[in-house]
Amino acid sequence: MKELTIGIDIGGTNTKYGIVDRSGQVVFQGSIKTTEFEDFRDYFKGLAIALRHAITQVKGDHKILGIGVGAANGNYYKGTIERATNLPWKGIIPLADMLKEEFNIPAIVTNDANAAAVGEMVYGSAKGMKDFIVITLGTGLGSGFVSNGHLLNGKHGIAGEVGHTSVNPAGRFCNCGKRGCLETYVSATGIRRTVYKLLADHLEDSELRGISFDNLNTKMITEAAVRGDIVALAAFEYTGRILGMKLAETVVHTDPEAIFLFGGLSLAGDLIFKPTIRHMEANLMPLFRGKVKVLPSGLQNQAAPILGASSLVWNYLDNEKDQLKEIVA
């Protein structure tokens, strides 16, 4: 019988779900609109119907082993989503318990960046690595730490929030209520803010001049930089410098083998990797220099969030097996 897991990625606009095998092949996938359901109970009903339908679409003899969920503010220990600013529902939502009750299989919830880190370990380029960090560069900046083969969850299930460590205490205002957080500089939104600041401070011609802030996106900035646009190039250099300096601080905590960059901004390739690596090396404590690789994620495709979420189940089952082995030994 084929063993499969379900991965669900709850985003601010869409909820994507998929059924995935152990090798990371998505055998079925679909999505529902997150924004369509103002009440969480209605959303959950809609999601349960969609998942039941998805399961009937998988051919052959199979067994669904569990459900993994990645969502902003997902709490691994409690299985809850807590006060996520990008989702329509307020308060604390006991999603893992609800899924367990509905489908009678294990359900694991964590934040989307932690899911990306487990996904990298189970299916991606961190296979066989025990110490690494994944940095997700989307609208914000998320991070997941794996140390000695285990995802760091912390006491409250919210470990690994590098995006909200400080770059400049008097700097840009952040959604979290603080100022100068890393993600206000290094993220899709951050680089747009940088482009606007550079356009305001300098007089050079740029193809980005005249594009409204709402219309400006990472792809435009990348394409302009490839064509040699000086403002776009300066924006990448500035973004890479801040990320590199922050990574130089971050690695001293867990001594990782590699740091994987995932998501929109990382697709700019050398434009972001080169300044990031240069400034990381320049700022590293000498003991760490030349030891930490900065690499693109091995899961750069549309299904990555589903893979990350589904990987939580394999990881959970593997850990459970290890614990049983210890008891038997």
What residues make contact with Zn ion under the rule CB under 5 A?
Answer: 164, 174, 176, 178, 181
Identify whether the C-beta of residue 174 lies closer than 8 Å to the C-beta of residue 190: no
Provide, rounded to whole angstroms, the least separation between the CB of residue 167 and Zn ion: 10
Nearer to Zn ion by Cβ, of 85 and 301: the residue is 85
Provide, rounded to whole angstroms, the least separation between the CB of residue 307 and Zn ion: 27
DSSP string for 216-268: --HHHHHHHHHTT-HHHHHHHHHHHHHHHHHHHHHHHHH--SEEEEESGGGGG
Provide, rounded to whole angstroms, the least separation between the CB of residue 141 and Zn ion: 9
Nearer to Zn ion by Cβ, of 188 and 312: the residue is 188
Q: Which two tokens stand for residue 233?
A: 């190039």
* Cα separation, 21 vs 241, whole angstroms: 39
Nearer to Zn ion by Cβ, of 76 and 185: the residue is 185
Nearer to Zn ion by Cβ, of 130 and 156: the residue is 156
* Cα separation, 318 vs 321, whole angstroms: 5
Nearer to Zn ion by Cβ, of 69 and 141: the residue is 141
* Cα separation, 25 vs 283, whole angstroms: 40
Identify whether the C-beta of residue 280 lies closer than 8 Å to the C-beta of residue 303: no
Nearer to Zn ion by Cβ, of 52 and 173: the residue is 173
Provide, rounded to whole angstroms, the least separation between the CB of residue 156 and Zn ion: 17
Cα 103 to chain centroid distance, Å, stands at: 26
Provide, rounded to whole angstroms, the least separation between the CB of residue 182 and Zn ion: 8
Quick one: which H or E segment has residue 156?
none
Provide, rounded to whole angstroms, the least separation between the CB of residue 169 and Zn ion: 12
What value does the CA radius of gyration of the chain take, rounded to a whole number of Å? 20
